[in-house]
Chains A and B, each alone.
Chain A
């Protein structure tokens, strides 16, 4: 007997897209990327997908498609908010946007320093941010496709 249920599964599972700041040489940009790696590689690898902001900037079709088809969480390193703007310009829906500065204001004890390599404060801030993101991811993924765009 054919497993109809299996055939009706979507071709790709909807996941939450994480788009961090691409600011190179900026401490807050590094914090945003470290937090994104924590979420996508360590804390919620099955539920999330990392998309590089630079791919959206360059108009990469695959990246744009992923962003357009899934809820996105953006992490901006400065008030230019490039990640949030590019997700919206790519046809995506920002389920939640984070600004590293705002997160730091909530965790004053974790002062980030360093660029290529963050200090302990920066690592802890990235982890704290990652845990906040996980809370949003869990809300979006409750019930399967609850956070799906459209």
Chain B
């Protein structure tokens, strides 16, 4: 499988990284041993606009699947992002404090939000979309938004 699935929609191009899972909002979850790194999909960051500020839950915070794990404020909207995994926040991306534009510049890399030590990844994973399923959902949403103007 390629590293990214990619589709042009109108004047935009959206990429979906194939090495991770996604919730329906477009928050990705990438398992790394017992922990899971999370961030925003390319579609979610492009749709949301340039990030002005981001606020993520601090180290040690315990979240359950679907809890709010971060809030981003963009030039368009304020969005609460829900966690695609249950567990404890064990790492926070320092760039979220100093350079949240990393979300826009590199959503699958330097723009990650937090790392969560998962309590039951196997159960959470079943509730997420794999990259192909998310790609299909994202494409429908993107085309709908373009038609809406």
Contact = CB atoms under 8 A, between A and B. Distances in A.
B71 to A, nearest CB: 13
Interface in B90-113: 104
A104 B52 CA distance: 7
Of B52, B53, B104, the most chain A CB neighbours within 10 A belong to B52
Nearest to B50: A101
B53 A28 contact: no
Interface residues of B, number: 5
A78 interface: yes
A105 interface: yes
B141 to A, nearest CB: 22
Contacts, number: 13
Contacts of A104: 52
A105 B50 contact: no
Helix, strand, loop or mixed for chain A's interface?
helix
Interface string B39-69: 0000000000010110000000000000000
A79 interface: yes
Interface in A87-106: 101, 104-105
A28 B76 CA distance: 10
A80 to B, nearest CB: 11
Given A28-B75, A101-B75, A78 B50 contact: yes
Contacts of A105: 52-53
Contacts of B50: 78-79, 101
Contacts of B53: 105, 108
B75 A78 contact: yes
A106 B52 CA distance: 10
Nearest to A111: B73
A49 interface: no
A105 B75 CA distance: 11
Interface string A33-64: 00000000000000000000000000000000
Given A28-B75, A101-B75, A105-B53, 8 more contacts: A27-B75, A78-B75, A79-B50, A79-B104, A101-B50, A101-B52, A104-B52, A105-B52
Interface of B: 50, 52-53, 75, 104
13 contacts: A27-B75, A28-B75, A78-B50, A78-B75, A79-B50, A79-B104, A101-B50, A101-B52, A101-B75, A104-B52, A105-B52, A105-B53, A108-B53
